[in-house]
Amino acid sequence: MGFLRDVTVAMACLSFLVDATPIQERQAADGINYNSYIIRGVNLGGWFVLEPWITPSIFEPYANGGGVVDEYTLSAKLGYSAAQSLLEQHWGSWITESDFAQIAAAGLNHVRIPIGYWALAPQSGDPYVQGQTNYLATALGWARTHGLKVVLDLHGAPGSQNGFDNSGRLGPIQWQTGNTVQATLDALHALTDFTLPYTDVVAGIELLNEPAGFSSNINMDTTKQFYYDGYGYIHQMAPNTLTVIHDAFLDIDSYWNGFMNSASGVSNVLLDTHIYQVFSPAENARTPCEHVANACTNGPKLAGTDKWVVVGEWTGAQTDCAKWLNGLGSGARYDGTFTGSGGSYYIGDCTGKSVGTAAGLSQVDQTNLRAYVEAQMDAYEAHTGWFFWCWKTESAPEWNFQDLWNNGLIPNPLTSRKFPGQCAPGAACQVPS
């Protein structure tokens, strides 16, 4: 693995010397120069990697037990044939060409599509089913038709890179044990090869979503080596395609500056960071003004990175009230019903926030959400841009871009502001606190 990294870096350096063009002037993704181009995108969450809170109808039969908590256990419970039938129906209906048309009409220019390793390089003994890439190929055609760029995101790795249900398997973190790292690279190779007919559409490939750098089970030297190896293959096969690396929940400046930047002879790397304010009791307890102020602090931090950086996930939610956001059958920190790590205490009532539509939110919540969304857009456009999580949900209105857009809670056009200048130095809070 170390030798492969040395070869990869040497190849990158030779290419760098030949064209003598630093990354700040390089153009990636079919001519896009991300120095002057702002990504404004959405995630197609819950499509090829299930999450109970995004599509609760699929998991409702197991709300009171049955051992199903994620796509892995759902597939195991149903058996291959029944799981295949259920998921084929879901893949063919959750996202359609109409969604791509609406995304483009909203002024968005990118979509980020999560996919699990099991769609590309399934492991022996896995209960997962396959067939996702047929729908993905169709989706890339829709993106081409509607002028959208795509970032393909490997959202789940063998053994789970974070223990979250969004990795496909809730539970212990076992990525980096056995052959799981090599198996992840195999999936990335398959994904890269799959994109070759679509290099005009696929702007980037994300090597791995949210590896848990905070966990003692994740060795960051191994993770960095994995990043170099994944980059090497993408750079060889599709040199104008961005290699997207996640920050592993570590500081984007102090930890990641100096890694895989132009000074090290590496080109076309995009750092992905995710910014939420709902996954601790203290964050849930913030006032709307405090949420806005905290969002604004990210602007200078993003601008201080030494490579392109995108906020690959963020939301309009200021609480964790969305049904099953913290796991199937789990409660919320906001109303004191969450019993998981970190605990919870009562802050307020989740009624009207946990399920429903954007139109059903209170007028105060709508005002606060619009201001919070605008502040985040202002801050996150300080560097390369953002992807909202996510395009649609069945019943979590604060996370549903499509619903928020249709109800006037997303700026239209995206550059307009009802609450201008929120992130300006010394700006006063413009919403009820």
**What pLDDT is stored for residue 32 in this prediction?**
85
Q: Which ranges of 179-287 does DSSP label H, i.e. alpha helix?
A: 180-195, 220-237, 281-284
pLDDT in tens, 114-151: 999 999 999 999 999 999 999 999 999 999 999 999 99
**What pLDDT is stored for residue 13 in this prediction?**
35
**What pLDDT is stored for residue 20 in this prediction?**
32
Q: Any catalytic annotation for residue 210? A: yes
- pTM to 2 decimal places: 0.93
CA distances from 24 to 11, 18, 268 (A): 19, 16, 9
Residue pair 106/41 in contact by the 8 Å Cβ criterion: no
DSSP 8-state class, residue 47: S
pLDDT in tens, 270-305: 999 999 999 999 999 999 999 999 999 999 999 999
pLDDT in tens, 323-367: 999 999 999 999 999 999 899 999 999 998 999 999 999 999 999
Q: Which H/E stretch holds residue 251?
A: none
Topology adopted by domain 2-406:
TIM Barrel (3.20.20)
Q: Is pLDDT above 80 for 6?
A: no
**What pLDDT is stored for residue 25 in this prediction?**
39
Residue pair 380/276 in contact by the 8 Å Cβ criterion: no
Q: What is the mean pLDDT of residues 250-259?
A: 97
Instruction: Count Cα atoms within 13 angstroms, Cβ side, for 7.
Output: 9
Mean pLDDT of the chain: 93
Q: Is pLDDT above 60 for 4?
A: no
Confidence of residue 2 (pLDDT cuts 50, 70, 90): very low
Catalytic residue among 206, 283, 313, 381: 313
Q: Any catalytic annotation for residue 97? A: no
CA distances from 217 to 161, 171, 224, 240, 259 (A): 9, 12, 15, 33, 22
Catalytic residue among 71, 206, 210, 374: 210
